[in-house]
Structure 1
Amino acid sequence: MKVVCSPVGIVEYRRPRGGLEKLAQSGFSETVVDFGLFAGGFAGEKRRAEAEAHWQEWADRYVEEARRQGMPLGLAFAPHFESEQKVADGENLERRLAEICLQKTAGYGIEALVVRGLAGGSYAENLAKNREYFLRLGRAAQSAKIRLLVVNGYRDMNGHLVRGFCGEPAQAVAFVDELNAELGADVLGFCLDAGVCNLTGQNMCDFATGLGVRLQAVILRENDGVHDDSLLPFSSAHGSGSRMDWLNLIRGLRAVDFSGAAVLDFRTTLTALSGLLRPAMLSFAREVAKYLTWQVQMEGCLRRYPARVLFGAGNMCRAYMKCYGEEFPPLYACDNNPQVWGTEFCGLTVHAPKDLLSLSETCAIFICNVYYEEIEQQLRDMGVKNPIERFNDEFMPSFHFERLESDAWKEQVK
């Protein structure tokens, strides 16, 4: 998975240099082209003529500056107008802008364009309207040799948000497959908006696994399940946890071995901050992005090595054996506690750290303890040359609901 940062709330569309520099300084090496960033004036009729005259110029300037700074652009987003914006003739405008964006995307050499479905009408009317819309765009995308990514949406039913266009995995799969069959090629894929899933009570693991290989991009944004906000992941907290079901999203992305683009969108969080605080928030957002990437790629990391040893004979080791012990069996466990050396834990013999020096160079050591830095430094100081990775049990396929206490574990081995 490759996490990229949305420019919205960070980059000023008329003067993109400073915002793109701040992204790069925070550690984000890639971003996207969000054409909605340049279409703010379309909502008001008084400014529409001016906006239409300049928005493509602003987009070109943004892309030119990103390239000057060596920042790749792997994805683009077409503008989308929400019903509360009350854009005059919004649907026809959205159709026209999507076609222009498609051509611009191809001209920029970007691989894929994300397009949200049109709103309005009954379920059957909306599906028919979007079928015609995406089929037309799909033909243009096929000619331009770019991918078109459909997004799950919602409908507003008297203030209550319910699942809308492609809001169910079965509908999304049928829609994408049917249009690809008609086009005679895999032109359409899917972009999963995690924020929409949270608003409509969708199980994100089921959605991701249902999409399978069709899932080519994800929008990472959090909300409280009621308001359509774009908050930094893990920031909408209530009680003892997040209002967002990150557990099932991470489970789903792991299950499909997701390797596409994940777009971090936290524009709402940024609007609440002083401009003086935004650089610090960007740096923290980069740490969140690295954390999410690590969690999603956990199983892929296990799969990468032909052999592995676990360091730490405790709760995290036990979680590993419960979920991955059969698929990725370790050679043995290792622990700093001399009281457990030579004993068996979860079917593994527990070794002393010095035994790691005799491992084959292709065997990886997975640290199963939250003291990652200290243990890695210990092993390097010992002269261990093997790959060292970090395992974590916060987002497992299944859990132990009772934890081992260290004293109780010592009693077991006496």
Structure 2
Amino acid sequence: MPSLKMEAIAEGGFSYAEIPYELIERNGLPTYEKKEGESRLLRVSGLTYPLQDVVSDKLYALLEACKKYQGNYLVLETMNCKPGILEEIVEECAMMLVDYGIPIFIENGCQGDDISGYIHSVYSDVSGLKRIADYCNRLCERPMVGICYNIGYGNLLAKNIRSQLHQCREYLCMIHANDNGGMKNDRQMPYTFTKGRGELVTDWYHIIGQLIRMDFQGWMIFDTIGLFGRCPEKLQTQFIRLLRGLVTEWESQYTFAERVLNQPDKKLILFGAGKMLGEYMRVFGEQYPPYFAVDNGSARWNTEILGVPVKNPQEILAVPEEERNVVICCMYYDAIGTQLREMGITYNEFQDRYFV
């Protein structure tokens, strides 16, 4: 967006920026140059444009610009958009889309604004988006149209976002990640809004968990125009770094099973024999069964829970260090982490809120 500096994006740790086409249209796309001695490189991931304003000539200009800036896709925004526009354009321009080979992602949207409120439109539910994508792809005789799901827009309509993502998993090519309080299109950073005693308005943990279960491999774009429309320029890089921290956290959960559990040459030991052990067994127990579990509650020692032997935490030391894979499986991560460090034991954590 105009107020967000591309230098801040790069300095904050990202390699791609999604560009609204109107910046290019106004010759307003800022140049970006690396500072001397820096290895960072900022690329254009793709372009965005309102579907409401697209005609055949405009589509040609969009595809040309995407090609020029080496973008990977074109997102068509559908807020307050009339039905049938994309279908009519593809009927006329199917061959052009195929020739360019640049995929189009149609975004979920709705009708309304922050003052009058928001109501459903033909683009609000993924079932409608799937029908549009199917029709357009048949015209192109190959997959050229997919779905971009905007988390914030789904939240405005109180959608079950996990269910929406699951329903469109075969079409889902992109996530636009932003947060709001369920009333206004704030487009803020994820985890920003809470209700009651700290409960998240947007269930980010289970949304990311759903993407993990689907093995989603598409684009994840932070669409946080509201944040950077208000953020002082001097703080932009710091907020970008916060977003980059979210990437690190989500990637750690995305790779959890392969990175932590898939170690066949080691014995998996879970610290915790309570409710979370049952949750672990339901999600990962069949593929990655634990060698044994340990617990600080002595009443559980020398018993079996869900077929898993439970022992004294000191039994971890009986397994040679190079053979053990210790994972905390209990909500008291800090206390147990301190206990394990004092025992000289390295560990990982099973964060069940992503997977349950």
**Residue 194 of structure 2: aligned partner:** 237
Residue 35 and residue 334 in structure 1: after superposition, are their counterparts in 2 closer, same or farther (change >3 A)? same
Percent identity reads 17
Residue 107 and residue 364 in structure 1: after superposition, are their counterparts in 2 closer, same or farther (change >3 A)? farther
CA distance in 2 between counterparts of 1:96 and 1:69 reads 38
Deviation at 1:304, TM superposition (A): 4.6
**Residue 107 of structure 2: aligned partner:** 151
Q: TM-score, normalised by structure 1?
A: 0.70
Q: Which amino acid aligns with 1:216?
A: C
**Residue 275 of structure 1: aligned partner:** 233
Residue 141 and residue 390 in structure 1: after superposition, are their counterparts in 2 closer, same or farther (change >3 A)? farther
**Residue 4 of structure 2: aligned partner:** 10
Contact 2:271–2:293 (8 Å) recurs in 1: yes
- Deviations along 1:15-35, one digit per CA (max 9) or x if unpaired, are xxxx42x33333x23222313
How many residue pairs get aligned? The number is 344
CA distance in 2 between counterparts of 1:233 and 1:109 reads 28
Q: What does residue range 172-211 of structure 1 map to in structure 2 within 5 Å?
A: 172-211=129-168
CA distance in 1 between counterparts of 2:297 and 2:219 reads 42
CA distance in 2 between counterparts of 1:359 and 1:159 reads 62
Residue 105 and residue 290 in structure 1: after superposition, are their counterparts in 2 closer, same or farther (change >3 A)? same
SS in 1 for 2:118: strand
Q: What does residue range 53-132 of structure 1 map to in structure 2 within 5 Å?
A: 54-55=27-28, 58=29, 61-62=31-32, 70-71=40-41, 73=43, 75-80=45-50, 91=53, 96-117=57-78, 119-121=80-82, 126=83, 128-132=84-88
CA distance in 1 between counterparts of 2:99 and 2:287 reads 43
Name which of 213, 220, 229 aligns with 1:262: 220
- Deviations along 1:30-84, one digit per CA (max 9) or x if unpaired, are 2223134616xxxxxxxxxxx64x24xx36x35x769x96435362122338xxx
Residue 286 and residue 374 in structure 1: after superposition, are their counterparts in 2 closer, same or farther (change >3 A)? farther
**Residue 320 of structure 1: aligned partner:** 280
Residue 70 and residue 231 in structure 1: after superposition, are their counterparts in 2 closer, same or farther (change >3 A)? same
**Residue 412 of structure 1: aligned partner:** none
Q: Unpaired segments of 5 or more residues in structure 2?
A: none
Runs of 4+ in 1 over 6 A off after TM superposition: 336-339
Name which of 294, 307, 317 aligns with 1:354: 317
Contact 1:36–1:77 (8 Å) recurs in 2: yes
Name which of 375, 396, 405 aligns with 2:355: 396
- Deviations along 1:215-244, one digit per CA (max 9) or x if unpaired, are 111011001111112111111222222222
Q: Which amino acid aligns with 1:326?
A: E
Alignment root-mean-square deviation, CA: 3.5
2:103 is the counterpart of 1:141: no
Which structure dedicates a bigger proportion of its chain to helix?
1
**Residue 43 of structure 1: aligned partner:** none
**Residue 409 of structure 1: aligned partner:** none
**Residue 292 of structure 2: aligned partner:** 332
Contact 2:269–2:316 (8 Å) recurs in 1: no
CA distance in 1 between counterparts of 2:238 and 2:287 reads 41
2:28 is the counterpart of 1:25: no
Name which of 35, 39, 44 aligns with 2:20: 35
CA distance in 1 between counterparts of 2:300 and 2:122 reads 56
Q: Which amino acid aligns with 2:303?
A: T
2:128 is the counterpart of 1:171: yes
Contact 1:79–1:97 (8 Å) recurs in 2: no
Residue 290 and residue 359 in structure 1: after superposition, are their counterparts in 2 closer, same or farther (change >3 A)? same
Q: Which amino acid aligns with 1:101?
A: L
Contact 2:94–2:140 (8 Å) recurs in 1: yes
Residue 24 and residue 315 in structure 1: after superposition, are their counterparts in 2 closer, same or farther (change >3 A)? farther
Q: Which amino acid aligns with 1:23?
A: I
**Residue 217 of structure 1: aligned partner:** 174
Deviation at 1:338, TM superposition (A): 7.3
CA distance in 2 between counterparts of 1:354 and 1:222 reads 45
Q: Which amino acid aligns with 1:196?
A: Y
**Residue 401 of structure 1: aligned partner:** none
CA distance in 1 between counterparts of 2:268 and 2:133 reads 42
2:250 is the counterpart of 1:292: yes
SS in 2 for 1:277: helix
Residue 245 and residue 8 in structure 1: after superposition, are their counterparts in 2 closer, same or farther (change >3 A)? farther
CA distance in 2 between counterparts of 1:96 and 1:130 reads 13
Contact 2:46–2:75 (8 Å) recurs in 1: yes
CA distance in 2 between counterparts of 1:303 and 1:359 reads 15
Moved more, 112-121 or 229-238: 112-121
Contact 2:56–2:93 (8 Å) recurs in 1: no
Residue 280 and residue 246 in structure 1: after superposition, are their counterparts in 2 closer, same or farther (change >3 A)? same
- Deviations along 1:347-401, one digit per CA (max 9) or x if unpaired, are 31135212442775xx85433242386577568x55x7xxx6431022333xxxx
Contact 2:119–2:157 (8 Å) recurs in 1: yes
CA distance in 2 between counterparts of 1:136 and 1:376 reads 65
Residue 197 and residue 302 in structure 1: after superposition, are their counterparts in 2 closer, same or farther (change >3 A)? farther
